Amino acid sequence: MEPVKIPIEDVLDLHTFHPKDVPDLIEDYLAECIKLGIYSVRIIHGKGKGVQKRRVQGILQKMPTVRSFRDAPPEAGGWGATLVELNRP
C-alpha cells in the first residue's frame, strides 16, 4: 500500500484514519509540524465514549516534543478535540 499524503496544517482530523495507524500518524504529523514551524496543533478525535481521546492523550503524554496539551474550548470542538503545544527547537 502506498502512503497517503495529507497536507500538514495546524489541524489533524483522525476520523478518516484506521485506529491502528493513529500512534505513528500522530508522531509523524507532529514532527512535520515542527519542521514547518507549526507549534500549536488541534487534533480532532471525536467525542464518542472518550476511548480515542484517552488514547491520543496517552500518546501525547509520552512524546518529548509535546510541551502541553488540553481539551479544546467549545468553539474548537470541546472535549472532542485536543489542543497541543509543541516544543520549539
Residues of the chain predicted below pLDDT 70: 1, 4
Report pLDDT for 6: 79
How is the chain split into domains, by residue range? 11-72
Report pLDDT for 2: 76
Sign, CA torsion 43/23/32/8: negative
Report pLDDT for 46: 93
Q: Are 72 and 78 in contact (CB under 8 A)?
A: yes
Alpha helix (H) residue ranges in the chain: 22-35, 51-61
Cell of 42: 488541534
Give dist(CA 48, CA 33) in Å, integer: 27
Give dist(CA 7, CA 38) in Å, integer: 13
